[in-house]
Structures are given as C-alpha cells and as structure tokens.
Structure 1
C-alpha cells in the first residue's frame, strides 16, 4: 500500500548510478522506482546527479523574480554584510 504522503504529494525519488545503469526509488520506502541503461557510466552518473537535486537546495540563489523576491534580497544583503566584515 502506498503511504499517504506519496498519495498526496507524489513520490520523492532518489537517484543513483550503478555502472551504466541509473536507478531511482522513492525515499519514503513505498517501493516505487525503476532503472534506465545509458551508453556509459559517466552518462548515468551525470543524469543521476542532475535528477537527484532538489529545488529547495538552492532556494535563495535562484528564487523567482516576484514570488520569492524578499528572500533573494535578504540573501544579497547578507552577502554584502559578510563582505564588509571580511574587509574590516
């Protein structure tokens, strides 16, 4: 049976490369997942690394212009203050 969180929010996949094969599975342990074979192990690693990124990993760096504009400004101000402290 699928966990309630997967039914409401969808699966939370984690990706990993095993040689030329990229595998993914739901980190909530519901059993959903799969695999895909690539031409080389480098390609499989590259895709696994790219797909394994979460949108929240760099939330302040690439925030949408209007919706998270205050977060982007706070991050810029924090960097500016830290830069001044290093110079002093």
Structure 2
C-alpha cells in the first residue's frame, strides 16, 4: 500500500474523489491501481478507518452510480452520431 505523507491509501483516494468528483474508474487510472482496489478501499476500508470521510465519498459514489446509465446512453448517442457523420462524409 502506498503511503502519501503518512496518510492511508484509502484516505488519499477519498480526497481525490471528493476534490474531483471522479468515478472509481477515473481514480483507478489516475493512481495506477485496479478498480476493485479503489472500490474496496473507498467502500469498505474507509468506512472503518475514517467514517466521516467515508460519508462524503459515499455521496459522490452514489451520485456516480445514479448517473452511470445516463453517461452510457450519452456515449452510445455520440458513437452513432460520429458513425453517421463518417458515413455521410464518405458519400460526398
């Protein structure tokens, strides 16, 4: 486990998620660790080591979870819009 200035990894991850509103995936990429590790640190470990910080992170994780179907739908919409634009450009 990495230790940043004497702080636990879960706390460092929590601060990053709170400051940026990052998803579990984005935090995992930023710190170079797996999504499973980020989730376990934020959802389980932090709950026991720093309950106050856990409650703040939980709000963001719950919001991200509630919005994920919208993000997925928007990504799909953009994908097919780009395909349609490419198809129209080929026909010209």
- Structure ranking higher on relative contact order (CA contacts 8 Å, 6+ apart): 2
Greater per-residue strand proportion: 1
TM-score, normalisation: structure 1: 0.30
TM-score, normalisation: structure 2: 0.29
Greater per-residue helix proportion: 2
